[in-house]
A = this chain, B = another copy of it.
Amino acid sequence: MQRMTRQRSAVTEVLADTDDFRSAQQLHETLRSRGHGIGLATVYRTLQSLADGGEVDVLRTTDGEAVYRRCARREHHHHLICRGCGATVEIEGPGVEAWAAQVGAAHGFEDIEHVVELWGTCARCAARAAHP
Binding site for B on A (CB under 8 A): 60, 62, 64-66, 80, 82-83, 89, 91, 94, 99-100, 103-104, 107-123, 126
Contact = CB atoms under 8 A, between A and B. Distances in A.
A116 B119 contact: no
Stoichiometry, as copies per complex, reads: 2
B122 A118 contact: no
A116 B113 contact: no
Contact of A113 (B112, B113, B114, B118): B118
B103 A112 contact: no
A82 B66 contact: no
Nearest to A123: B108
Contact of A118 (B114, B118, B120): B114
